[in-house]
C-alpha cells in the first residue's frame, strides 16, 4: 500500500535559496561532487543533472508558497485535462524564468561545457503528438506567468513520442525511453495515490431510505500515482503544477492472486495494470476502438477528478453543492471527456447526491475544446467495449443521453432524424458512444481554436447543438508562449528587440507593436535592420550546422530558408511542397533560372506508424532530396533536406532560422496551427492558405506581408463534387512535367512503383485534399516570394513587421481570454 501519511503543511516561512552566483555555484558543486561524485571532465550529463538539481532547489520554495497562497476555502481553480503535454526540455526554460542565466554560467566556469551544451543533454519530454500537446504545454507556461491557479493533469508515459530514424529514405520508429536516466523535474507524491476501478459489474439496490442506488463491484483496480512537475512563471515567483499519473498495480490484488496459487497470473495482471501509462499513442488523427487507449482516458479522468475533489476538501471546503463555484475542468479535445460521466458517478454513487443536483454541478464545471474537424479524428467508442471495461460509466452515459434526448424532443417534437443525429449513442452495426456529443452535452462552454475553425464547427459538425444552446459556443484562438519560442529560442533577436523597446514584451507581447516604426525604410533604421538581418543569418548558420549533422546536406545561409515542419498528414499537404520543389528542379534543368532565388527547403515531421501514405510521402521527400542534392546542374540553386526526429527542441533551432514558413493545408482542414505563430514571432514570412489561424496572422501582419494562395474553405467545398485533377494537368504544363517526372521513375529507379500510390491519390477526383487544384496558385505565390527575396532590405522590413504584429499570438492573451470568458479565476 502507498504510505497513508498526510502531506506536511505548506510552510510559507521557508527561506528561499539565494540566486546569487556564489550560492548557485556552491550548490552546483555540492551536487556535482558530493552527490553525484563527478569531477570536471565528467560526461556532461552529470553536469546537467547537478545544475538541474541546483535550480530545482530554487524552485521549491516558490512552489510551496504558491500552494500555500492558494490553499484557502472558496478559492476557484481550473484543471486542464489532457492526454498530451508536449513539454520538451525544462532546464533552459527554468533558467530563463528564474533569471539565473548569469549565476549558472558562473557556476559552469572551469567546466569544459557551456550552458548551451549542458542543456542539450536533457531528453525532450515528448509526451504528445503535435499541436494539441504542445498547446497544452504553452498554456501551462502562460498560466504560471499570469499567476492563474491552473493545474495540468496528464499521464506520465514511460515512452513518449517515438524517435524517428530515416533508413533508405523510410521512417523507422524507435521507442523513446526518456526516463531511462530519471528526470530531475518531477516529484513523486505517493501520498496522493488514487484508485481507479475497471471491469466488474454494477449492482442496483435500495438504500435505507428506499432510494434506488448503484454500486460498481468486483472491479480490478489500478493505482494512480502522481508525479508533479513544476511549471515556473516568468520572473514572478509563481510555480504551478503539472500532475502526471503513473499506473501501478495494487498490492492486495497481487496478493489475492498469489494466495490462490497463481503467481504468474498475478504478475501478468500487474503488467496489465502498469501498461496503462506505458506508452503514448503516436497517432494524431485516429485511434478508435483500441482498448488500452480507452483505459488511459478513463484512468486520467478518474484519478484527476478524485484528486481535484480531494484538493478542494483539503483546502477546507465541504459543501459539495458549491463544488462548481470553485472548480472548472477544461477538456483538451474529446480524449478526457469520459470525465463528464465520471464526475456524475462520483457525485451520485460515492457522494450520495441526486441525479439532478449532480448534473447541475457537472455541467457547470466542464468545458470542452475541439481541435479538429477531420471526421476520422472524432472519437467514438464501441458500446460493447465500454460495457466490458466501464459498465457503470456506460449506464451513466445512457441516462445522460435519455434525459438529453427528452430535451431535444421537447424542443423539436417528432423530429426523429434530429434525435438520431444528436444522440450520444450512434446506432448502427456497431453501436458507438460519440465522445464529442458527450462533451458538448456535459459542458457549459465549447470552443474551437481559431476564428474560422470555430465558425466551421458552428455551421457544420455542431450545428444541431448550436440551435439548441447557442450561448455555449465560442472561439479561443490559439497562441504560443513567447518565453520558449522567442526569449529562449532566439536570444539574438530578443536582445536586439529589448535594446529598442525594453524587456517588457516578454511578458506582454503586444508591446512588440513598438517595433513597427523600426521597419520603416529610413536612414535612421538602417543599422537596426542590418542587425536584424545579421541575427537571422547567425540563426541560419546554427540551423545549417544541424542540417549538416543530421542530413549531411549543405545549406548556404545566403539562400532563402523555406521550411515546413509539422506532423506528416495528407491534409497538411507536404505533397504540394514537394511538387513545387520538383517544379523548381525542372526549371533548373531547363535553364529557366531568370530571377532565381537560391533556396534551401527543409521538411520535417513524424508520420503515425500505421499511416502508410504519410510514410510514403516521407520516402518521396527523401528520394527527391537525394536526386536534387547530387545533381551537379543544380549547382547550389536548390537544396532539399528531410530533418529526422522533428521535436520541440529542434523547432527551437528551426523557427529562428526560417525565412519562409509553409502553412499550406487544404482550406478548412487545419483547425488553427501553432507552428505558423512560432515562425511569425521569429520574423519569418508565411506562404499560406486561407485556413486556421493563418487568416488571423494575415490580418495582423497585413496582406502585403503574407503570401496568400489557394482556394478558400467554401470554394474547396463547392469544387469537391466537380473536382477534376486531370483538367489541371491538361491546362498547366508545369504540373504535367512534375507529375510526368515522378511517374517516369526518376526519383525511384531502384524501387519501381513505390510512388504509384501517391500519384494515384493526387490524380483521383476523390482526393479529399485537392492538392492539384492549388498547385498553380501556389507556384505563383512562390514566384512572388522569390521576387520579394531579391530585395533583401524590403524582405527584412517585412520580417520585422511580422514579428511586430505577432503579439496577439501569445498564449498569455489566449489564457486571459479563457479566464475572462470561461474559467473566471482570480489572479
Local structure of 768: helix, strand or coil: coil
Do residues 148 and 825 touch, judged by C-beta distance below 8 A? Answer: yes
CB of 556 to ligand 26W, least distance (A): 32
Q: Which of 58, 163, 371, 483 is catalytic?
A: 371
Nearer to ligand 26W, 143 or 225 (CB): 143
From its phi and psi, is residue 812 left (phi > 0), alpha (psi between -120 and 50) or beta? Answer: alpha
CB of 774 to ligand 26W, least distance (A): 18
Cα angle vertex 331, ends 361, 126, to 5°?
Answer: 150
CB of 716 to ligand 26W, least distance (A): 16
3-state secondary structure labels for all residues of 703-765: HHHCEECCCCHHHHHHHHHHCCHHHHHHHCHHHHHHHHHHHCCCCCCCCCCCCHHHHHHHHCC
Nearer to ligand 26W, 135 or 238 (CB): 135
Q: Would you give the DSSP letter of residue 292? A: H
Task: Catalogue the E-assigned strands of 59-210.
Answer: 77-81, 85-88, 125-127, 150-155, 163-167, 170-174, 187-188, 194-196, 201-206
Nearer to ligand 26W, 311 or 372 (CB): 372
Q: Which of 94, 113, 488, 566 is catalytic?
A: 566
Nearer to ligand 26W, 132 or 742 (CB): 132
Q: Which of 163, 639, 678, 728 is catalytic?
A: 678
Nearer to ligand 26W, 19 or 289 (CB): 289
CB of 342 to ligand 26W, least distance (A): 19
Q: Would you give the DSSP letter of residue 513? A: G
Q: How many CB atoms lie within 10 A of CB 440?
A: 28
Is residue 371 among the annotated active site residues?
yes
* Letter string b/e over residues 177-203, b meaning 16 or more CB atoms within 10 A of that residue's CB: ebbeeebbbbeebbebbbebbbebebe
CB of 124 to ligand 26W, least distance (A): 17
**Cell for 599?**
533556396
Q: What is the C-alpha to C-alpha distance for residues 23 and 107, in angstroms, rounded to an integer? A: 9
Which residue do the cell numbers 530563463 mark? 96
Is residue 488 among the annotated active site residues?
no
CB of 692 to ligand 26W, least distance (A): 5
CB of 155 to ligand 26W, least distance (A): 13
Q: Which of 567, 583, 599, 606 is catalytic?
A: 567
Which positions touch ligand 26W (CB under 6 A)? 129-132, 135, 283-287, 333, 371-372, 377, 379, 449, 478, 670-674, 692
Is residue 712 among the annotated active site residues?
no
CB of 572 to ligand 26W, least distance (A): 8
Q: What is the C-alpha to C-alpha distance for residues 461 and 435, in angstroms, rounded to an integer? A: 13
* Chain centre to alpha carbon of residue 532: 30
Q: Which of 241, 337, 363, 674 is catalytic?
A: 674
Overall residue count recorded for the chain in this entry: 827
Nearer to ligand 26W, 132 or 770 (CB): 132
Is residue 674 among the annotated active site residues?
yes
Q: What is the C-alpha to C-alpha distance for residues 669 and 694, in angstroms, rounded to an integer? A: 12
- Give the nearest residue (CB) to ligand 26W: 131
Q: Which of 89, 156, 295, 572 is catalytic?
A: 572
Give the H or E element holding residue 639: strand 638-643
From its phi and psi, is residue 721 left (phi > 0), alpha (psi between -120 and 50) or beta? Answer: alpha
Q: What backbone torsions phi and psi does residue 139 show, to the nearest 5 degrees?
A: -60, -45
Could you tell me the CA-to-CA distances from 458 to 262, 370, 373, 672, 712 in Å, in that order? 55, 11, 11, 15, 18
Q: What is the C-alpha to C-alpha distance for residues 756 and 771, in angstroms, rounded to an integer? A: 16
Nearer to ligand 26W, 623 or 694 (CB): 694
Nearer to ligand 26W, 124 or 287 (CB): 287
CB of 669 to ligand 26W, least distance (A): 8
Nearer to ligand 26W, 176 or 284 (CB): 284
Catalytic residues: 371, 566-567, 572, 674, 678
Amino acid at each position: 500500500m502507498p504510505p497513508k501519511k498526510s502531506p506536511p503543511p505548506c510552510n510559507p516561512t521557508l527561506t528561499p535559496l539565494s540566486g546569487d552566483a556564489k550560492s548557485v555555484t556552491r550548490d552546483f558543486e555540492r551536487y556535482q561532487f558530493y552527490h553525484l561524485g563527478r569531477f570536471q571532465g565528467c560526461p556532461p550529463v552529470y553536469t546537467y543533472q547537478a545544475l538541474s538539481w541546483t535550480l530545482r532547489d530554487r524552485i521549491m520554495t516558490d512552489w510551496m508558497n504558491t500552494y500555500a497562497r492558494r490553499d484557502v476555502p472558496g478559492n476557484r481553480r481550473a484543471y486542464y485535462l489532457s492526454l498530451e503535454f508536449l513539454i520538451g526540455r525544462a532546464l533552459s526554460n527554468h533558467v530563463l524564468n528564474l533569471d539565473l542565466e548569469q549565476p549558472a554560467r558562473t557556476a559552469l566556469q572551469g567546466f569544459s561545457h557551456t550552458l548551451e551544451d549542458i542543456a542539450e543533454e536533457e531528453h525532450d519530454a515528448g509526451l504528445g503528438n503535435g499541436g494539441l500537446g504542445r498547446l497544452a504545454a504553452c498554456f501551462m507556461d502562460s498560466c504560471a506567468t499570469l499567476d492563474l491557479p491552473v493545474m495540468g493533469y496528464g499521464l506520465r508515459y514511460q515512452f513518449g513520442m517515438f524517435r524517428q530514424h530515416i533508413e533508405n529514405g523510410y521512417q523507422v520508429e524507435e521507442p523513446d525511453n526518456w526516463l531511462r536516466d530519471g528526470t530531475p523535474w518531477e516529484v513523486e507524491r505517493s501520498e496522493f495515490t488514487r484508485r481507479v476501478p475497471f471491469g466488474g459489474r454494477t449492482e442496483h439496490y435500495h438504500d435505507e431510505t428506499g432510494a434506488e442506488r448503484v454500486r460498481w463491484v468486483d472491479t480490478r483496480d489500478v493505482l494512480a500515482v502522481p508525479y508533479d512537475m513544476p511549471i515556473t512563471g516568468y520572473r514572478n515567483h509563481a510555480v504551478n503544477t503539472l500532475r502526471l499519473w503513473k499506473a501501478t498495480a495494487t498490492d492486495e490484488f497481487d496478493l489475492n492472486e498469489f494466495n490462490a496459487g497463481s503467481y504468474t497470473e498475478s504478475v501478468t495482471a500487474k503488467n496489465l495494470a502498469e501498461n496503462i501509462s506505458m506508452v503514448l499513442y503516436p497517432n494524431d488523427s485516429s485511434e478508435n476502438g483500441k482498448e488500452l487507449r480507452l483505459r488511459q482516458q478513463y484512468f486520467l479522468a478518474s484519478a484527476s477528478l478524485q484528486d481535484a475533489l480531494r484538493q478542494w476538501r483539503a483546502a477546507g471546503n465541504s459543501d459539495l453543492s458549491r463544488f462548481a463555484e470553485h472548480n472548472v475542468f477544461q477538456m483538451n479535445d474529446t480524449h478526457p471527456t469520459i470525465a463528464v460521466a465520471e464526475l456524475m458517478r462520483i457525485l451520485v454513487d460515492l457522494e450520495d447526491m441526486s441525479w439532478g443536483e449532480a448534473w447541475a454541478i457537472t455541467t457547470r464545471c466542464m468545458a470542452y475544446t475541439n481541435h479538429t474537424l477531420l471526421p476520422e479524428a472524432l472519437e467514438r467508442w464501441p458500446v460493447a467495449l465500454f460495457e466490458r471495461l466501464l459498465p457503470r460509466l456506460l449506464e451513466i452515459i445512457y441516462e445522460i443521453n435519455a434525459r438529453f434526448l427528452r430535451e431535444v424532443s421537447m424542443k423539436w417534437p417528432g423530429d426523429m432524424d434530429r434525435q438520431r443525429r444528436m444522440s450520444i449513442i450512434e446506432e448502427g452495426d456497431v453501436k458507438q458512444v460519440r465522445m464529442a456529443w458527450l462533451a458538448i452535452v456535459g459542458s457549459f462552454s465549447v470552443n474551437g481554436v481559431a476564428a474560422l475553425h470555430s465558425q466551421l464547427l458552428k455551421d457544420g459538425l455542431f450545428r444541431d447543438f448550436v440551435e439548441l444552446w447557442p450561448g455555449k459556443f465560442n472561439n479561443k484562438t490559439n497562441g504560443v508562449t513567447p518565453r520558449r519560442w522567442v526569449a529562449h529560442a532566439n536570444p539574438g533577436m530578443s536582445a536586439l528587440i529589448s535594446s529598442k523597446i525594453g524587456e517588457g514584451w516578454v511578458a506582454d507581447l503586444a508591446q512588440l507593436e513598438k517595433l513597427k516604426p523600426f521597419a520603416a525604410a529610413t536612414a535612421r533604421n538602417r543599422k537596426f535592420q542590418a542587425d536584424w538581418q545579421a541575427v537571422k543569418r547567425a540563426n541560419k548558420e546554427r540551423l545549417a550546422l544541424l542540417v549538416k549533422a543530421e542530413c549531411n546536406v549543405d545549406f548556404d545561409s545566403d539562400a532563402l530558408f523555406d521550411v515546413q515542419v509539422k506532423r506528416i498528414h495528407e491534409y497538411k499537404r507536404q505533397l504540394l511542397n514537394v511538387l513545387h520543389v520538383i517544379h523548381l528542379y525542372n526549371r533548373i534543368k531547363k535553364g529557366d533560372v531568370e530571377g532565381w532565388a537560391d533556396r534551401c527547403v527543409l521538411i520535417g515531421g513524424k508520420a503515425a506508424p500505421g499511416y502508410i501514405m504519410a510514410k510514403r510521402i516521407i520516402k518521396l521527400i527523401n528520394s527527391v532530396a537525394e536526386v536534387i542534392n547530387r545533381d551537379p546542374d543544380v549547382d547550389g540553386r536548390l537544396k532539399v533536406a528531410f530533418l529526422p526526429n522533428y521535436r520541440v527542441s529542434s523547432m527551437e533551432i528551426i523557427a529562428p532560422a526560417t525565412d519562409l514558413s509553409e502553412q499550406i493545408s487544404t482550406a478548412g482542414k487545419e483547425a488553427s496551427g501553432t507552428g505558423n505563430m512560432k515562425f511569425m514571432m521569429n520574423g519569418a514570412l508565411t506562404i499560406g492558405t486561407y485556413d486556421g489561424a493563418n487568416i488571423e496572422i494575415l490580418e495582423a501582419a497585413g496582406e502585403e506581408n503574407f503570401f496568400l494562395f489557394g482556394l478558400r474553405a467554401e470554394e474547396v467545398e463547392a469544387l469537391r463534387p466537380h473536382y477534376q485533377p486531370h483538367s489541371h494537368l491538361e491546362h498547366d504544363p508545369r504540373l504535367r512535367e512534375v507529375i510526368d517526372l515522378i511517374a517516369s521513375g526518376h526519383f525511384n529507379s531502384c524501387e519501381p512503383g513505390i510512388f504509384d500510390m501517391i500519384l494515384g491519390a493526387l490524380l483521383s477526383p476523390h482526393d479529399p485534399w485537392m492538392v492539384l487544384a492549388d498547385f498553380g496558385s501556389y507556384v505563383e505565390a512562390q514566384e512572388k516570394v522569390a521576387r520579394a527575396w531579391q530585395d533583401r532590405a524590403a524582405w527584412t522590413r517585412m520580417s520585422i513587421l511580422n514579428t511586430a504584429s505577432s503579439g496577439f499570438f501569445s498564449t498569455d492573451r489566449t489564457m486571459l481570454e479563457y479566464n475572462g470568458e470561461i474559467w473566471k479565476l482570480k489572479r
